[in-house]
Structure 1
């Protein structure tokens, strides 16, 4: 089960129904919601979905006219987890689904469209919801037609549905329950009278803006067990796209950065370093390999890609599930967690030498202050790390949207994040905290990004705080970031009993979020620096840490090159 990423509950269901276990596990799978209070796994709920699917008929190819029986991998990794996990609620049997937002990310030709259609019809006509409104999102009216056509054909060709559902030109209705399914192509259509029971986003990666997807996700508030299904292939790695935001959130859930039992997702893909022309790689990425897609089809597509970088990138994305411009995490979150150590008690830090890093960022977003306290010679290399984070009150809702509510529910409530009044960060709060810290700790210096210098920096210098400009180019940031990486790896190596955290971060969840968002730029010589443009979200906590690390390792040396500052120009 561990190798195949099967939960005990799903494995038991497969065994009880004589369904073969799948052979190809997903690359990424978020946790199933077994830890929710009073959670239960209902065999009957999954049976009902599979029974509804069996009443549909294949409409194309050699299986045309035969019952639609989902493949074992579709049951094990999507249908059973999504529809099987329930908790007490107001449903017709006294229970409701736990999972409200589900994603299946899988290469082409693995039966996504048929699965998407079956889910749409089930939510419309078999989920027991009166007046169910079920919609599918398309990017254009033409795309809406392409999305609707195969689902309409499924409804038309199923003998068991005759007399129960009525397929029209642009809508499928279920008169008995007053429910309908239709495809829309604009956020305005989604918001018009929206009281959605279900939403289908087919090919999320083609959505360039998030307004339509967001309108669907926010239109389900009054339903007892709504379900949004996103079924897609990989994208080309564009940051901040709807696909990218969804993918990054699923990866954070899978890594344990966040916990959200209402969201579930599986991603099938090959590894970045796998041989794209090997049948083993094709099999690894395609759970339906051998049936759909056929081995000879993938061989033909791979052969076309051998002599064209463009076709190779396309083959990797569409048939191997590889985001062609994705970046690898510079700091592994599991290593970062191993450096958490015990809670950081500020009383224990009083009087100790401290090096600071200040990232003011945007006045309307996140501001970070980081203090580094070098270990004593007896403890060896390393630091205790203390962060302060601020955000303006008007930004909290946006931050909640990007962190599944953790910003207000955890970070603010537990003192990890301070909210300042208004729509911009009140630097007076930052100034007061730095002055207070300077009275408590033996502050050696505070490094800051010269591009974000402000009156705050001038005021602090007037108050006697040693504020030092730190360049954000490769010359300053590469040694700092590499030292962070070295310390984190050092603290995560060896046997658990022998590990000593080398960057003891106290489990600060805001800092962990910033670390998990981090992407880096690299020059031809292998120097690195944080990349705010390519990172998944805010990395201000890492930037402040790097400024502080640079101050600590510089120890009063030259901190900024005139070549970096652009103050020296050669003409």
Structure 2
């Protein structure tokens, strides 16, 4: 619900389908139209949900008005707009400023309303006004957010980059007439004496830790940060502020896995896909699709929300012409101007196909069923996974059951990586939390023994490289454990069959029924695969977005299930006269 200023006439909003296409909430659309700001037609490729469903959430138009007034008091300092008032473009208001600064909730400890969003991520190609946007936010947070003694830092990965990061902010403070006499610009700090606030540049974790009580942190060009230290230090330095804001504004990287950029970008994509839930984090990513023609204007428009103003059409046309002349220039053009992570792996399993096959799995009805297991004990201090597959000769395909364990000491780290979802999974019984700081294999052994009593277990596939006392004990007790080598030759057939089952399955006839387990869905979304010259594939734990133990266990189980002899059913047993082969 929006706290609306009275107007002479209410603006007429587009219908729900159009707002969904534009990826603009009704509250933000109302605000723009009521202020005479046109709705932009440049939706981001990725957008996390606005925090509309948070208990007590209110859209405060006055707060957004205040931000826009603060921006308007600044002036452009370069190019054809030098000296003109810095008025954010409609896309910046619709997709960045209004969602972040407009959504508030009442906080009793703070004695009033506070922003819901405290983490902002903006991923946009070069020349789309990133420096101006981040500079305006920094000055607003220091001088106009009403926070006494606000400490605002801008993060640079090196002393050299510090000038590129801090320079635009310092210039805005020096050149804007409205700030004359109100702020003091020094070499590495802008001071607002009235509120006792300042903006300064830091280029090391040690600098960021010194006296840290941050109200706002600005991280520009995340992909140039080789380690996460500085970024993480800034993020943890806001604990005593009631409505802090961490801002990351960046261009795409070259697709390297495991970097701080990769982790942040991946999390935004998972939040947007509803794999994770965190209303305090808001992010947008502008980019072309990998299948788009990079040399057409429609692609440039899709990836660049400022197209036609900054960057201009002529600028992108020149860059595209250069890109057509050499592979090196093409890779640079794809990354810097189309927002494409140029080495990003193709997703092997899609969430759409996974969700299509969810169906319902009732464990009580699996008793006595033929079962094939897959065990993954890859990390004693993180996750351990067991998957059971139950062939279904009537409906086709398999029913699937995941069991997941983690040590109690790992829950804090796992919650951080899953935006708090791990604790939810534990409460729902989808994740078993064992005592201590390493995996308690007695819990896993006991569960396997119970499952062997309940199901008709034919075999349990496991990785011999990670064989432990658990697997030795289970073998001695007669468990039908089978070694599943983790090379291409062994894992490629079941992994490709898993992909086939998911793609062939439909909501009406799912072929891998997994019950929509969210902990499993998170791991499927994390999966990356590696390919050999012959086209064989296997899970790639090193380059996956995060944990994939549940997927690895599933592949091990499917490797065993595929050894089952095909079961043919009489054509007279169903109306379709169909012969089903498993």
The TM-score with structure 1 as length reference comes to 0.93
Match of 2:297 in 1: 279
Match of 1:110 in 2: 128
Given candidates 328, 333, 348, the residue that maps to 1:315 is 333
**1:215-246 C-alpha deviation (Å, 9 max, x unpaired):** 11111111111111100000011111111101
**1:415-440 C-alpha deviation (Å, 9 max, x unpaired):** 21122233221222221211121111
- Does the residue aligned with 2:482 lie in a helix, a strand or coil? strand
Contact 1:373 1:385 in 2 (8 A): yes
Write the distance in 1 (CA, Å) between the matches of 2:118 and 2:131.
20
Return the offset for 1:24: 1.4
Match of 2:39 in 1: 21
The answer to whether structure 1 residue 388 and structure 2 residue 403 are counterparts is yes
- Does the residue aligned with 1:220 lie in a helix, a strand or coil? coil
Match of 1:207 in 2: 225
Contact 2:463 2:486 in 1 (8 A): yes
Given candidates 363, 367, 372, the residue that maps to 1:355 is 372
**1:355-375 C-alpha deviation (Å, 9 max, x unpaired):** 000011022221111011111
Alignment of 1:432-471 (within 5 A): 432-471=446-485
- Does the residue aligned with 2:33 lie in a helix, a strand or coil? helix
Residue 471 and residue 282 in structure 1: after superposition, are their counterparts in 2 closer, same or farther (change >3 A)?
A: same
The answer to whether structure 1 residue 411 and structure 2 residue 425 are counterparts is yes
Given candidates 503, 506, 512, the residue that maps to 2:512 is 503
Match of 2:15 in 1: none
Match of 1:30 in 2: 48
**1:31-60 C-alpha deviation (Å, 9 max, x unpaired):** 111111111111111110000000001111
Given candidates 403, 407, 428, the residue that maps to 2:442 is 428
Write the distance in 2 (CA, Å) between the matches of 1:280 and 1:504.
40
Write the distance in 1 (CA, Å) between the matches of 2:534 and 2:163.
51
Contact 1:90 1:224 in 2 (8 A): no
**1:233-279 C-alpha deviation (Å, 9 max, x unpaired):** 00011111111101100100111101111111110111112112222
Write the distance in 1 (CA, Å) between the matches of 2:547 and 2:170.
43
Return the offset for 1:460: 0.8
- Does the residue aligned with 1:444 lie in a helix, a strand or coil? strand
Return the offset for 1:90: 5.6
The answer to whether structure 1 residue 485 and structure 2 residue 506 are counterparts is no
Alignment of 1:506-545 (within 5 A): 506-545=515-554
Write the distance in 1 (CA, Å) between the matches of 2:409 and 2:106.
36
Write the distance in 1 (CA, Å) between the matches of 2:565 and 2:22.
54
Write the distance in 1 (CA, Å) between the matches of 2:265 and 2:164.
24
The answer to whether structure 1 residue 183 and structure 2 residue 201 are counterparts is yes
- Return 234-243 or 333-342, whichever deviates more: 333-342
Write the distance in 2 (CA, Å) between the matches of 1:146 and 1:268.
23
Write the distance in 2 (CA, Å) between the matches of 1:485 and 1:471.
20
Contact 2:75 2:83 in 1 (8 A): yes
- Does the residue aligned with 1:554 lie in a helix, a strand or coil? coil
Match of 1:269 in 2: 287
Contact 2:277 2:421 in 1 (8 A): no
**1:362-414 C-alpha deviation (Å, 9 max, x unpaired):** 22221111011111x332x121111111122222222122111221x212222
Return the offset for 1:502: 1.8
Given candidates 3, 20, 27, the residue that maps to 1:2 is 20
Match of 2:394 in 1: 378
Return the offset for 1:93: 8.6
Write the distance in 2 (CA, Å) between the matches of 1:226 and 1:97.
8
Residue 556 and residue 362 in structure 1: after superposition, are their counterparts in 2 closer, same or farther (change >3 A)?
A: farther
- Does the residue aligned with 1:355 lie in a helix, a strand or coil? strand
The answer to whether structure 1 residue 398 and structure 2 residue 410 are counterparts is no
Match of 2:574 in 1: none
Return the offset for 1:91: 9.4
- Does the residue aligned with 2:538 lie in a helix, a strand or coil? strand
- Does the residue aligned with 1:119 lie in a helix, a strand or coil? helix
**1:107-149 C-alpha deviation (Å, 9 max, x unpaired):** 0001000111000000000000111111111111221122111
Write the distance in 1 (CA, Å) between the matches of 2:298 and 2:561.
48
Write the distance in 1 (CA, Å) between the matches of 2:108 and 2:173.
29
Contact 1:92 1:128 in 2 (8 A): no
Alignment of 1:38-117 (within 5 A): 38-89=56-107, 94-117=112-135
Contact 2:258 2:543 in 1 (8 A): no
- Return 110-119 or 89-98, whichever deviates more: 89-98
Match of 1:132 in 2: 150
Contact 2:110 2:242 in 1 (8 A): no
Contact 1:141 1:185 in 2 (8 A): yes
Contact 1:257 1:512 in 2 (8 A): yes
Write the distance in 1 (CA, Å) between the matches of 2:420 and 2:46.
23
Return the offset for 1:92: 8.4
Return the offset for 1:292: 0.7
The two structures, once aligned, show a CA RMSD in angstroms of: 1.6
- Does the residue aligned with 1:425 lie in a helix, a strand or coil? coil
- Does the residue aligned with 1:235 lie in a helix, a strand or coil? coil
Contact 1:514 1:542 in 2 (8 A): yes
**1:183-218 C-alpha deviation (Å, 9 max, x unpaired):** 111112222221111110011111111111111111
User: Any gaps of 5 or more consecutive residues in structure 2?
Assistant: 1-18, 567-582
User: Any gaps of 5 or more consecutive residues in structure 1?
Assistant: 558-571
Match of 1:223 in 2: 241
- Does the residue aligned with 1:424 lie in a helix, a strand or coil? coil
* Structure 1 runs of 4+ with >4 Å offset: 90-93
Return the offset for 1:62: 1.3
Write the distance in 2 (CA, Å) between the matches of 1:63 and 1:126.
24
Write the distance in 1 (CA, Å) between the matches of 2:288 and 2:92.
18
Contact 1:90 1:96 in 2 (8 A): no
Return the offset for 1:527: 2.6
